[in-house]
Structure 1
Amino acid sequence: MSSPASRERLGLLLGFIGMAIFGGTLPATRIAVAEIDPIALTALRTAIAGLCSLALVLVLRRPLPPRALWPQLVVAMLCVAVLFPLLMSMGMQRVDASHGGVVLGVLPIATALVAVAITHERPRPLFWIASVAGAGLVIAFALRQGGGALVAGDLFLFASVAVAAIGYAFSGRLTSQMPGWEVISWILVIALPLSIPAAVLTMPADISHIALKPWLGLLYVALFSQWIGFFAWNAGLAMGGIARVSQIQLLQPFVTFALAAFFNDETITLQIVLFAAAVVVTVAISTRTRAKAAPSVPQRNREPPQLAAS
């Protein structure tokens, strides 16, 4: 039987693996959309992950979720499995992965804001200050990178942050009713009636003209970003504790930068790193302040932290 210390170390390791997997989402998407249309990429990634999820729940003989949870599952499905990957892919057609890493770095704040609205919490003023500061930093970064104007890629990324925040907040509430891996699996299974027909209809006419790298990018976002990453992240939270493991997510933008430099040949400027670091600080302040503001909420009913891109 493992000791509590070894269990916690394993939880930290699994949390880091989950964070690193999600850190590769933007670089992999950037590679994939070079030759695969964003609509086709979204449909294929969700269909592949959905079929894997269906096989898993059938093998493990998991019962269908209670009928009362289906409305929340449908909302989470539309946001997490359809709109977020589609909007994010459209953004990655137009801006670098490192740029997207800064913009999506504010997603934990956006998710917290939605969760606060859903649960009617009353966070301390510092939470709101940090949230506004984080959003302001991201907008300032986008304006500076766009020469004083927001480019289309930024608008798609901002929209992806909004829908992902809603989806993550609802899926977070569902984790109080079932394990995290089951939540994402059922979300993807529910999406199959949409994703499979969409994948068939949008499949590139001549797949032989698509190089190997975009296919590998598709497989990465389908199997790892959309599915396996959630298993590692949720297992890490359960084994290592939400308070400790959730702090690992602060490293995610920098993992994205490193992978974008290596796989996408992007130049990571000092400006990008500084803006990302500032956003990370606001995320850390807002999440910690919110946690301290609601000590009466039972731990099992709090949504687990969600990562910036999945």
Structure 2
Amino acid sequence: MNTARRPERRTELLAAGAASVTVVLWASAFVSIRSAGTAYSPGALALGRLLAGALTLGVICLVRREGLPPRSTWRGIAVSGVLWFGFYMVALNWGEQEVDAGTAALVVNIGPLLIALLGARFLGDRLPPRLLAGMAVSFAGAVTVGLSMSGGGGSSLLGVVLCLLAAVAYAGGVVAQKPALGQASALQATTFGCLVGAVMCLPFAGQLVGDAADAPVSATLNMVYLGVFPTALAFTTWAYALARTTAGRMGATTYAVPSLVVLMSWLALGEVPGVLTLAGGALCLAGVAVSRSRAGDVRAAAPEETEQRAERQETAPRPEGAETPK
């Protein structure tokens, strides 16, 4: 039995490692967006990021000789590309220019909650108590971080609506991508999703050319970084992990992002966090730890495993003359 569980345990560790890479790179994206966003408009920044990501992923696909994903997955990849790679990035970039960082964090962080609910409704994912409890703790931490970072008078109704739409698009994109990963590889799903998002953002090509002509080199390098690492690499590791766990559990993992953003802003930008911000970040991490715990799942699965074992014993061949257990 221990030997049989080793491959499963190895898969779990690889998925957890991939999710960790995703979370760290997505957290770093917030710092880069703040830099590049001063020189690039929301649509231009999204298009430049997606073009850099698509080029990187295309080269990797050629080297690995990845073909087209199965036709049955095209719909899910296309929906994910439109909602998550395209609409989400533009709406989030635009929303963060209309509201302060704290308000944006508050609104966008309803995304993992929506993922869990949509996953239960459309994918049949279970909502174990530990997942719900962990998400509640993490959301409380996100609210604490957001309130500590919010500035007076920095919000607008348009910005709040844009961040809300970004959260909905994020959740919808994840739920659409999950079934496609049953047949397509993580690299295929990410590459073609990124291509779909880039095509969707092509109307911003004129803005991208104009902004690039006036942007400082540091802003352009940040845009390229966003495409290569938080997009090409992080979305691929996300897809790898998502294929091996539920959408709700993966969504809950992203609650570690706010605490890492606080830490990176402290180290990279010299923005010293307050006590309330640090407390909120600690809550986010604690909630992720609870939601990723499998103890609740094991208890829930135990009765089912016992029943299946009993059925196998009843249907197993018996020696001649042996009595059926009463």
When normalised by structure 1's length, the TM-score is 0.74
Show CA shifts across 1:132-167 (max 9, x none).
Answer: 676576567656736599645444333322211111
Query: Residues 127 and 147 from structure 1, CA distance in 2 versus in 1: closer, same or farther, beyond 3 angstroms?
Result: farther
Find the counterpart in structure 2 of residue 256 from structure 1: 261
Matches of residues 196-211 of structure 1 in structure 2 within 5 Å?
A: 197-205=202-210, 207-211=212-216
Query: Residues 62 and 127 from structure 1, CA distance in 2 versus in 1: closer, same or farther, beyond 3 angstroms?
Result: closer
Find the counterpart in structure 2 of residue 73 from structure 1: 77
Q: Which moved more, 1:116-125 or 1:208-217?
A: 116-125
The 2-side partners of 1:209 and 1:84 are apart by 26
How much does 1:261 deviate?
2.4
Matches of residues 35-184 of structure 1 in structure 2 within 5 Å?
A: 35-95=39-99, 100=104, 104-121=108-125, 123-124=127-128, 131=135, 138=142, 145=150, 151-152=156-157, 153-184=159-190
Show CA shifts across 1:15-46 (max 9, x none).
Answer: 54333211101111111111100011111111
How much does 1:177 deviate?
1.4
Higher RCO structure (Cα 8 Å, ≥6 apart): 1
Find the counterpart in structure 2 of residue 213 from structure 1: 218
**Partner AA of 2:215 in structure 1:** I
**Partner AA of 1:84 in structure 2:** Y
The 2-side partners of 1:77 and 1:280 are apart by 29
CA contact (8 A) 2:91 2:166 kept: yes
How much does 1:53 deviate?
2.5
Query: Residues 279 and 92 from structure 1, CA distance in 2 versus in 1: closer, same or farther, beyond 3 angstroms?
Result: same
Partner-residue secondary structure (3-state), 2:210: coil
CA contact (8 A) 2:49 2:231 kept: yes
Find the counterpart in structure 1 of residue 197 from structure 2: 191
Show CA shifts across 1:263-292 (max 9, x none).
Answer: 344342222232333344445545558972
Residue of structure 2 aligned with 1:224, choices 229, 238, 241:
229
Q: Which moved more, 1:217-226 or 1:201-210?
A: 201-210
Show CA shifts across 1:185-240 (max 9, x none).
Answer: 12113334334x335322242634311221122112111111112344556789xx
The 1-side partners of 2:105 and 2:86 are apart by 20
Find the counterpart in structure 2 of residue 300 from structure 1: none
Find the counterpart in structure 1 of residue 3 from structure 2: none
- List gaps (5 residues or longer) in structure 1: 297-310
The 2-side partners of 1:72 and 1:10 are apart by 24
The 2-side partners of 1:90 and 1:222 are apart by 18
Find the counterpart in structure 2 of residue 270 from structure 1: 275
The 2-side partners of 1:287 and 1:107 are apart by 17
**Partner AA of 1:76 in structure 2:** S
Query: Residues 259 and 139 from structure 1, CA distance in 2 versus in 1: closer, same or farther, beyond 3 angstroms?
Result: closer
Find the counterpart in structure 1 of residue 305 from structure 2: none
Are 1:19 and 2:30 matched, yes or no?
no
Query: Residues 8 and 112 from structure 1, CA distance in 2 versus in 1: closer, same or farther, beyond 3 angstroms?
Result: closer
Query: Residues 143 and 68 from structure 1, CA distance in 2 versus in 1: closer, same or farther, beyond 3 angstroms?
Result: same
Query: Residues 217 and 290 from structure 1, CA distance in 2 versus in 1: closer, same or farther, beyond 3 angstroms?
Result: farther
Query: Residues 163 and 29 from structure 1, CA distance in 2 versus in 1: closer, same or farther, beyond 3 angstroms?
Result: same
Q: Which moved more, 1:90-99 or 1:110-119?
A: 90-99
**Partner AA of 2:277 in structure 1:** I
Partner-residue secondary structure (3-state), 2:66: coil
Query: Residues 219 and 130 from structure 1, CA distance in 2 versus in 1: closer, same or farther, beyond 3 angstroms?
Result: same
Partner-residue secondary structure (3-state), 2:193: helix
How much does 1:128 deviate?
5.2
- List gaps (5 residues or longer) in structure 2: 1-5, 303-326
**Partner AA of 1:117 in structure 2:** R
CA contact (8 A) 1:101 1:257 kept: no
Partner-residue secondary structure (3-state), 1:276: helix
Show CA shifts across 1:90-134 (max 9, x none).
Answer: 233245557655654554333222211212345356655665676
Larger CA Rg, structure 1 vs 2? 2
The 2-side partners of 1:254 and 1:97 are apart by 13
RMSD: 4.0
Q: Percent identity?
A: 18
The 2-side partners of 1:129 and 1:44 are apart by 38
When normalised by structure 2's length, the TM-score is 0.70
Query: Residues 170 and 290 from structure 1, CA distance in 2 versus in 1: closer, same or farther, beyond 3 angstroms?
Result: farther
Partner-residue secondary structure (3-state), 1:266: coil
The 2-side partners of 1:154 and 1:219 are apart by 27
The 2-side partners of 1:286 and 1:13 are apart by 16
How many equivalent residue pairs? 290
The 2-side partners of 1:79 and 1:225 are apart by 17
